[in-house]
């Protein structure tokens, strides 16, 4: 059994990786990086308008594979559809060391757990008009991303875990369990037959920490392409739904359907989302997760409350629209 590193040992390893990166760039480029950021596979720093990523010693093979994948994807997108606001990732090599460089997407992320500062803003700080516009921008972006042809793609390079498949393999009767769960709670849950052939180039991790907004809180671009690959069309909507709520997603979907030949439905998106949050209930029952069981139950309750409240709001809006149409016909 492998020994578990202590906190002090992990910090020592990280510091060694940072120093190795600094020495490398000072030796070969006459520049000592500062304000380093650390990830599982890489350390990184900003140089002018560029973000440089350097592999950590124990994870260098995985890091370089990720750099190569992102470089391939960013070039493939440019070759297929031209301009799309994602980083142009390039591989660099010097003295047997491979690292990556890309021009950063300018703007702020919208990560709720982080403080608001020069690099981050909260969704709650946006006005209703700004939220609406952001949703429209995101829908248009996803429609364009999903329009990228896969005909010439390296399928091995773009392989990714298919949405829903893992859950079905681990728990073949999960749909029946979810049906009983939601029926007992009086929740509107409808099983949808998923078209597993409807595959697109998916970001696969499209949440508010992986795109940026500009000074007017308009979408400025998406980044972190390491998870990108071929997946179900609905995959890119799931993290947004969980982060931003159902009402926001209705505007994203309306925009997407305006810009895409292939439409998505809120009914199927609701189906995937309810299956996703039902997993929290299952995890909470597992003794392995007993320490975080209360948090999992809270996440389920909040997610379900958002779904239920917006479904009711949507039904009221639809009734008001129908009444307006009927009154117009009567006149």
Could you tell me the residue ranges of all domains in the chain? Answer: 21-103, 123-330
Rounded CA-CA distance 98/52 in Å is 11
φ, ψ at 318 (rounded to 5°): -65, -40
In sequence order, the 6+-apart residues with CB closer than 8 A to the CB of 327 are none
Gap between the Cα atoms of 215 and 139, Å rounded: 20
Superfamily of domain 123-330: Aminoglycoside phosphotransferase (APH), C-terminal lobe (3.90.1200.10)
The DSSP secondary structure of 244-262, one letter per residue, reads H-HHHHHHHHHHHHHH-SS
How does the average pLDDT of the chain come out, rounded? 92
For domain 21-103, give the fold.
Answer: Phosphorylase Kinase; domain 1 (3.30.200)
User: What mean pLDDT comes out for the span 49-60?
Assistant: 94
Say yes or no to pLDDT of 175 above 90: no
Q: Indicate the SS3 state at residue 145.
A: helix
Torsion 247-248-254-256 (CA) sign:
negative
Q: Do domains 21-103 and 123-330 have the same CATH topology?
A: no
Question: 52 CB contacts (<8 Å, ≥6 apart)?
Answer: 25, 33, 44, 45, 46, 99, 100, 101
Nearest to residue 154, comparing CAs of 260, 80, 238? 80
E-assigned strands of 215-273?
219-222, 229-232
Asked if 278 and 179 count as a contact pair (C-beta separation under 8 A), the reply is: no
Q: Are the C-beta atoms of 268 and 257 separated by less than 8 Å?
A: no
Phi then psi for residue 97, to 5 deg, are -105, 130
How large is the greatest C-alpha to C-alpha distance in the chain, in angstroms?
81
pTM: 0.89
8 Å CB contact between 271 and 160: no
Range in 160-164, 173-177, 230-234 the model is least confident about: 160-164
> Of the candidates 51, 49, 38, 52, which has an alpha carbon nearest to the alpha carbon of residue 10?
38
Give the C-alpha distances (Å, rounded to integers) separating 69 from 96, 106, 170, 218, 254: 19, 22, 28, 28, 31
- Helix count (H) and strand count (E) of the chain? 9, 9
- Give CB contacts under 8 A, 24+ apart, made by 323-327: none
- Coil/strand/helix, residue 140: helix
- Looking up tokens 């996440």 gives 299
Helix pair 293-330, 266-285: axis angle to 10 deg:
160
Q: With contact defined as beta carbons under 8 Å apart, do 102 and 46 qualify?
A: no
The pair of three-digit structure tokens given for residue 182, joined into one six-digit string: 């939601």
**pLDDT reported for residue 1:** 42
pLDDT tens digits, one per residue of 64-111: 999 999 999 999 999 999 889 999 999 999 999 999 999 989 999 999
- Reported as a pLDDT band with limits 50, 70 and 90, residue 326 is confident
Instruction: Give the pLDDT confidence of 183-234 residue by residue, as tens digits.
Output: 999 998 988 988 989 999 999 999 999 999 999 999 999 998 988 999 999 9
């Amino acid at each position: 059994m492998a020994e578990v590193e202590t906190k002090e040992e992990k910090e020592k390893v990280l510091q060694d990786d940072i120093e190795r990166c600094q020495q490398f760039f000072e030796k070969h480029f006459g520049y000592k990086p500062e304000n380093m950021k650390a990830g599982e596979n890489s350390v990184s720093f900003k140089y002018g308008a560029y973000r440089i990523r350097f592999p950590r010693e124990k994870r260098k093979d995985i890091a370089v594979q990720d750099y190569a994948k992102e470089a391939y994807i960013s070039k493939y997108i440019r070759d297929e559809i031209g301009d799309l606001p994602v980083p142009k990732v390039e591989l660099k090599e010097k003295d047997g060391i491979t690292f990556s460089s890309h021009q950063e997407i300018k703007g702020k992320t919208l990560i709720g757990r982080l403080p608001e500062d020069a690099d981050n803003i909260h969704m709650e700080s946006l006005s209703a008009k700004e939220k609406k516009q952001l949703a429209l921008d995101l829908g248009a972006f996803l429609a364009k991303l999903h329009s990228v042809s896969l005909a010439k793609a390296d399928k091995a390079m773009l392989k990714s875990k298919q949405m829903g498949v893992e859950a079905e393999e681990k728990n073949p009767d999960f749909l029946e369990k979810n049906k009983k769960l939601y029926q007992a709670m009086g929740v509107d849950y409808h099983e949808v037959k998923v078209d597993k052939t409807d595959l697109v180039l998916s970001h696969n991790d499209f949440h508010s920490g992986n795109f940026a907004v500009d000074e007017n809180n308009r979408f400025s671009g998406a980044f972190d392409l390491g998870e990108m690959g071929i997946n179900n069309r609905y995959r890119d909507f799931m993290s947004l739904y969980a982060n931003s709520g159902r009402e926001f997603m209705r505007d994203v979907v309306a925009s997407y359907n305006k810009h895409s030949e292939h439409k998505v439905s809120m009914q199927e998106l609701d189906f995937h989302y309810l299956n996703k949050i039902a997993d929290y209930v299952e995890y909470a029952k597992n003794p392995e997760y007993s320490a975080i069981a209360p948090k999992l139950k809270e996440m389920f309750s909040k997610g379900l409350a958002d779904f239920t409240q917006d479904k009711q709001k949507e039904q009221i809006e639809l009734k008001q629209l129908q009444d307006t149409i009927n009154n117009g016909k009567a006149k």
